[in-house]
């Protein structure tokens, strides 16, 4: 099977997006760990691992087609954050950007009549719905529970529970 140059570029760009997301979540986890948010730290370390797994799925897909994936240099992520709420809002924006990129790849696959890549990308489309919903729900907790120290501690516990039981990451 042959991928169009357009699709190869899109997949390589997605590898870079996933790598940068992994590093961003690791930086968030590190900040949370130093700041005393143990649950959020565990949650974001798990998110970092998940993004790296997504990157590897694409690398393996391309390599299995005999196309060398481009392993990118990553951007230096932010290391200082204002609050747990601001981190979650930043994470949601990142997930929305990833969703947009995946949807563009789906459009390329449809235009190219590349049914194999289209089928491969379906998993990512479904995963992004789960990711965006997860972060939207977590951000809602600030409205529901509040922003005082007890509320933030409760949200940190919720994040700890999410880190222990992440959504399934295996292909459907």
Report how far residue 139's alpha carbon sits from residue 92's, in angstroms, rounded to the nearest whole number.
9
- In order of their start, the domains of the chain are 5-68+82-164 (1.20.1260.10)
Closest Cα partner for 36 from 157, 140, 162? 157
CB atoms within 10 A of CB 50: 19
Sign of the torsion formed by the C-alpha atoms of 26, 28, 30 and 36: negative
Report pLDDT for 170: 45
In contact, 41 and 33? CB cutoff 8 Å: yes
Element (H, E) at 70: none
Report how far residue 124's alpha carbon sits from residue 148's, in angstroms, rounded to the nearest whole number.
36
SS3 state at 62: helix
Report pLDDT for 96: 98
Report how far residue 120's alpha carbon sits from residue 134's, in angstroms, rounded to the nearest whole number.
22
Report how far residue 75's alpha carbon sits from residue 78's, in angstroms, rounded to the nearest whole number.
9
Per-residue pLDDT in tens (0 to 9) along the chain, 172 residues: 789 999 999 999 999 999 999 999 999 999 999 999 999 999 999 999 999 999 999 999 999 999 999 999 999 999 999 999 999 999 999 999 999 999 999 999 999 999 999 999 999 999 999 999 999 999 999 999 999 999 999 999 999 999 975 554 444 3
In contact, 107 and 95? CB cutoff 8 Å: no
């Amino acid at each position: 099977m042959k991928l169009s140059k357009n699709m190869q570029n899109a997949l390589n760009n997605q590898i870079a997006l996933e790598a940068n997301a992994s590093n961003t979540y690791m930086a968030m986890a590190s900040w949370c760990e130093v700041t005393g948010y143990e649950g959020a730290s565990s949650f974001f370390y798990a998110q970092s691992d998940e993004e790296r797994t997504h990157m590897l799925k694409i690398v393996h897909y391309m390599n299995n087609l005999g196309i060398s994936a481009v392993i990118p240099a990553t951007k230096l992520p932010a290391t200082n954050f204002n609050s747990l709420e601001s981190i979650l809002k930043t994470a949601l924006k990142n997930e929305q950007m990833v969703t947009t990129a995946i949807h563009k790849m789906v459009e390329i696959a449809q235009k190219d009549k590349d049914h194999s890549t289209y089928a491969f990308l379906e998993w990512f489309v479904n995963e992004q719905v789960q990711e965006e919903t997860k972060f939207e729900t977590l951000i809602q907790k600030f409205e529901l529970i509040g922003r005082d120290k007890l509320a933030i501690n409760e949200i940190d516990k919720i994040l700890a529970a999410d880190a222990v039981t992440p959504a399934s990451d295996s292909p459907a």
